[in-house]
Chain A
Amino acid sequence: MPNDRDLLLASTITHDTETARAAARREKARRAPAKWLLAPAVIFLLVWMIVPLAMTGYYSFRNYNLMMPSITGWAGWTNYKILWGDPTFWSALGVTLLIVVVCLAVTVGLGLALALLFHRNFVGRGVARTLAVAPFFVMPVVTGLIWKNMLFHPAYGLLAWLFRTLGFEPIDWLAQFPLASIITMISWEWTPFAMLVLLTGLQSLPEDQLEAVRLDGANKWHEFRHIVIPHLGQVLYVVVMLESIFFLTSFAEIYTTTSGGPGTASTNLPYYIFQGTFVQYDIGVSSAAAIGAVILANIFAIFLIRFVAGNLNAGEAR
């Protein structure tokens, strides 16, 4: 039989939990609209990205060719097997990776050099920087046509004229070096972006830290290596992440210049899937290739997130 003290205690507890519950209820009511604020964006992304992605997965296991409407039904792994045996798929995968890796190296390397240059104080720096940034805002379709017709053209291009003037044989860049040409065009567009972001990073360098190492007698290289580079780490991550997203899906530069050729020399995964869908009408195999492209992008994403998380932790430990 419970004594008075126990009863008292029990009632206090009930009372406490009731206050707590009431507080939780109030908190929930206060937050309730937050869920509704988030819902439209979440639903939109579900409908336009996640549902189609699931459908791509579904189609990749179906026999589905718009040219052969009589053949339908489950395909099992057939589409993936066709892809596995298609040398064009593998070369497209290689081309995609090559474009991403080389363009990243070029844009980050050149972008850093340019950022250091435009961080110096010289006459007309603002105007010069503004001119150098312009290529980033040019639509890729225009980039493709400028380079193809006015710079790379083997007879009428500026480069052909330059080569003839210097006494060399003009080169048909897009036919002989299709990948290098495409990498040049993409790098021309994206170096300004890397430069712009890294320059903003440089301008936010902590002056006091620089003063401190200078007082310690650090040389320029030491200063660069131990203060500038770690500070740029975070903005560098933004550059690498955004550029990877866009480089993995390069399309317009290829579409307007080489059309994936000569042969399949400059066909990357997006162009391969585009052709599979709109030239061969093979929905099944194209979907399987699309799943491959999504997996590739996610390998990049995971790799990047790991790399960045590691860098950030190292940064905090300093």
Chain B
Amino acid sequence: MSAQAKRFSGANIAFGVLGWAVALLMFLPLIWLLVTAFKTEAEAFTVTPQLFFEPTLDSFKAALAQGAGYWHYAWNSVFTALASTVIGLMLTVPAAYAMAFYPSKRTDFTLVWMVSTKFIPAVGVLVPIFLVYKTIGLLDNVWGLIALYTAMNLPIMIWMVYSYFRDIPKDLVEAANIDGASMGQTMLKVILPLATPGLASTGLLALILAWNESFWSITMTNYQASTLPVYIASFKSAEGMFWAKMSAASVLSIAPIIVLGWFAQRQMVRGLTFGAVK
């Protein structure tokens, strides 16, 4: 049977119907969020769900209006996510490079130790970080948040980049060394170009995790450095009054990351499986 014929065989039509049903069911909450964002507040808050209505951009306009706050939080989100990702990569690449191409007796231990710090839950360091930040003025400060996001993502980033580097033949490094290239030159000119897809997917994962993070931004910021999750969470006690506006703000907060995620999903999974899947 050709692939085309196979697609239309009886069993696969049944699986297709099931597959689409499951996919739409999983996506339904997000469709409902999107639909609600185009309603007026009165249409959003009804006992019988309104499916037919005149779509309006009012909620988006209200959410995006000057002084509504969205831009302040969105800018903080963009800045903290990007900065923590860039700093994270700057720390990750040399460390993973050293472990992958210059392994020593302690490399295994170092790698396991780094990854194991991910098993320290955020609450395990919450109290001292809060008190120290309060003392040195890093509370409600973007750089304080950026440092936390970097620390939070670093173990997973090192894990991913290390597994990408390990797939690159060591001979390349040795050949470059024999040609008289320094370690820095070898890393920047020989290895990094080869590892670009891996670094990109590691960066994207770090970006997504930082963008969606809420524990640290809720506990460590007040307004000045607050990111989008803090803004969205501020709707949590708004009973009914602002559902359409909440939906519009939510759509604006999750859409960029969902689109980014759709593009990067395969690469990201490959990196996360630590090279178990080729």
Task: Kindly state the separation between the CA atoms of A252 and B258 in the bound complex, as whole angstroms.
Answer: 18
Task: Kindly state the separation between the CA atoms of A270 and B236 in the bound complex, as whole angstroms.
Answer: 19
Task: Kindly state the separation between the CA atoms of A140 and B212 in the bound complex, as whole angstroms.
Answer: 7
Q: How large is the interface on A (under 10, 10 to 19, 20 to 34, 35 or more residues)?
A: 35 or more
Instruction: Encode B83-115 as 1/0 by CB contact (under 8 A) with A.
Output: 000000001101101110110100000100010
Contact B261 A133 (CB under 8 A): yes
Determine whether B233 belongs to the interface, using a CB cutoff of 8 Å to chain A: yes
Contact A48 B273 (CB under 8 A): no
| Chain B residues numbered 103-159 whose CB sits less than 8 Å from any CB in chain A | 104, 110, 114, 116-132, 147-148, 150-151, 154-156, 158
Chain A residue at minimal CB-CB distance from B124: A294
Contact A146 B128 (CB under 8 A): no
Contact B26 A188 (CB under 8 A): yes
Instruction: Encode B235-250 as 1/0 by CB contact (under 8 A) with A.
Output: 1100010010011001
Determine whether B211 belongs to the interface, using a CB cutoff of 8 Å to chain A: yes
Contact A274 B236 (CB under 8 A): no
Contact B125 A52 (CB under 8 A): yes
- In the assembled complex, the CB of B238 is this many whole angstroms from the nearest CB of chain A, namely 9
Q: Knowing A45-B151, A135-B26, A252-B215 are in contact, say whether A128-B119 is a contact too (CB < 8 A).
A: no
Q: Which of A3-11, A30-38, A83-91 contacts B (4 or more CB under 8 A)?
A: A30-38
Contact A137 B254 (CB under 8 A): yes
| Chain A residues numbered 126-184 whose CB sits less than 8 Å from any CB in chain B | 128-142, 144-151, 155-156, 158, 161
Contact A38 B208 (CB under 8 A): no
Contact B126 A38 (CB under 8 A): no
Instruction: Encode A32-54 as 1/0 by CB contact (under 8 A) with B.
Output: 01110110111011001111110
Chain B residue at minimal CB-CB distance from A149: B243
Q: Knowing A48-B148, A201-B277, A238-B274 are in contact, say whether A155-B184 is a contact too (CB < 8 A).
A: no
Task: Kindly state the separation between the CA atoms of A132 and B102 in the bound complex, as whole angstroms.
Answer: 42
Chain B residues, Cβ within 8 Å of A234: 273, 276-277
Task: Kindly state the separation between the CA atoms of A147 and B33 in the bound complex, as whole angstroms.
Answer: 10
Q: Knowing A38-B94, A45-B154, A155-B47 are in contact, say whether A131-B24 is a contact too (CB < 8 A).
A: yes
Instruction: Encode A251-268 as 1/0 by CB contact (under 8 A) with B.
Output: 110011100000000000
Most chain A Cβ neighbours within 10 Å, of B117, B123, B125, B130:
B123
Contact B26 A204 (CB under 8 A): no
- In the assembled complex, the CB of B198 is this many whole angstroms from the nearest CB of chain A, namely 15
- In the assembled complex, the CB of B160 is this many whole angstroms from the nearest CB of chain A, namely 11
Chain B residue at minimal CB-CB distance from A60: B127
Contact B128 A52 (CB under 8 A): yes
Determine whether A277 belongs to the interface, using a CB cutoff of 8 Å to chain B: yes
Contact A278 B253 (CB under 8 A): no
Contact A38 B110 (CB under 8 A): yes
Determine whether B197 belongs to the interface, using a CB cutoff of 8 Å to chain A: no
Q: How large is the interface on B (under 10, 10 to 19, 20 to 34, 35 or more residues)?
A: 35 or more
Task: Kindly state the separation between the CA atoms of A269 and B126 in the bound complex, as whole angstroms.
Answer: 13
- In the assembled complex, the CB of B92 is this many whole angstroms from the nearest CB of chain A, namely 7
Of B30, B119, B228, B270, which is within 8 A of A297 by CB?
Answer: B119
Most chain A Cβ neighbours within 10 Å, of B22, B266, B270:
B22
Known: A201-B277, A238-B272, A242-B156. 13 other contacts (CB 8 A): A48-B147, A52-B124, A128-B20, A128-B23, A130-B262, A135-B26, A148-B236, A149-B246, A200-B277, A249-B215, A252-B229, A257-B236, A274-B126
3 tightest CB-CB pairs across the interface, nearest first? Answer: A122-B16, A55-B128, A37-B94
- Which residues of chain B have a CB within 8 Å of any CB of chain A? 3, 6-8, 12-13, 15-16, 18-20, 22-24, 26-27, 29-30, 32-33, 36, 45-49, 91-92, 94-95, 97-99, 101-102, 104, 110, 114, 116-132, 147-148, 150-151, 154-156, 158, 177, 183-184, 208, 211-212, 214-215, 218-219, 228-229, 232-233, 235-236, 240, 243, 246-247, 250, 253-254, 257-258, 260-262, 265-266, 269-270, 272-274, 276-278
Contacts A/B (CB < 8 Å), 29 sampled: A35-B98, A37-B94, A38-B94, A44-B154, A45-B117, A48-B129, A48-B150, A59-B127, A125-B16, A129-B23, A131-B23, A132-B23, A134-B30, A135-B29, A137-B262, A138-B257, A139-B229, A139-B253, A148-B236, A161-B47, A201-B277, A249-B215, A251-B214, A270-B122, A273-B126, A274-B219, A286-B127, A293-B121, A293-B124
